[in-house]
A and B are shown apart, each in its own frame.
Chain A
Amino acid sequence: KAGVTQTPRYLIKTRGQQVTLSCSPISGHRSVSWYQQTPGQGLQFLFEYFSETQRNKGNFPGRFSGRQFSNSRSEMNVSTLELGDSALYLCASSLQAHEQFFGPGTRLTVL
C-alpha cells in the first residue's frame, strides 16, 4: 500500500507570494491533517479535514487555508508569505482517530 505522498518536496518562494501544497493520503483514509514543523517548535497543528469538511483548526492566521477533495486528496494554501512561514509542512492521514501516518513533508523556504 502506498504511503502518504506530498508534492512538491521542496519549494522556494519570496515574501508576499502565495503557495499551494498538495497531499495524497493512503488509499481509504478519509482524514487528513496538516502540521507546520520548525526547529524548536516541534509540530504545530494547522487543520484537519474529514470527508471534505474541516473538522479541527489550529491557531494559525487566516493566511493559512486548506481544502479536501472528494477523493480525500488535500491541499493547503498560504497567502502573502512571510519569512516566518519557512518550515517543513507535514501532512498526515488516518483511518482511525488515533493512528496518523505522515508524509515526507514539503520544505518551504521564503526569501
Chain B
Amino acid sequence: QQQVKQSPQSLIVQKGGISIINCAYENTAFDYFPWYQQFPGKGPALLIAIRPDVSEKKEGRFTISFNKSAKQFSLHIMDSQPGDSATYFCAALHTGNQFYFGTGTSLTVIP
C-alpha cells in the first residue's frame, strides 16, 4: 500500500515556466513533509520541507503548499531552469518512525 501518492510521473516544462508536482497522503500522524531532488548517479538531496502547522513555505524559487484538510501537499518550482531537470520525490514522516516516499516525478525543463 502506497502511503504517499505522487503525480505526475513525468513533467516537461519550458524554461521560465512553473513546475508543479503533487502528493497526497492518508496517515494523519505524519508530521514532516520533505521534498528531495535527485540527479542521475547521485543520491537524493533535501530540497525543502514543511510541517503540517504551516500552509506554505518558500525558499528561493521553490515553494511547498500544504493543505492539511485535503491531506495534500505540492512543490512549485517558479522560473524553472534546465538545471532543475531531475527527479523529485515527496516524502512523509511520523516522527520516530520511517519515512515514506512517493514514486518520483521526472522533470525536464526545455531551454
Contact = CB atoms under 8 A, between A and B. Distances in A.
Contact of A104 (B41, B99, B102): B41
Nearest to A40: B103
A52 to B, nearest CB: 18
B98 A58 contact: yes
Interface string A82-108: 000000001010000111111111000
Contacts of B46: 99-101
Size category, B interface: 20 to 34
Interface string B13-57: 000000000000000000010101000011111100100000000
Interface string B42-84: 1111100100000000000000000000000000000000000
Interface of A: 4, 33, 35, 40-45, 48, 56, 58, 90, 92, 97-105
9 contacts: A42-B101, A43-B91, A43-B99, A56-B98, A90-B44, A99-B34, A100-B99, A101-B46, A102-B36
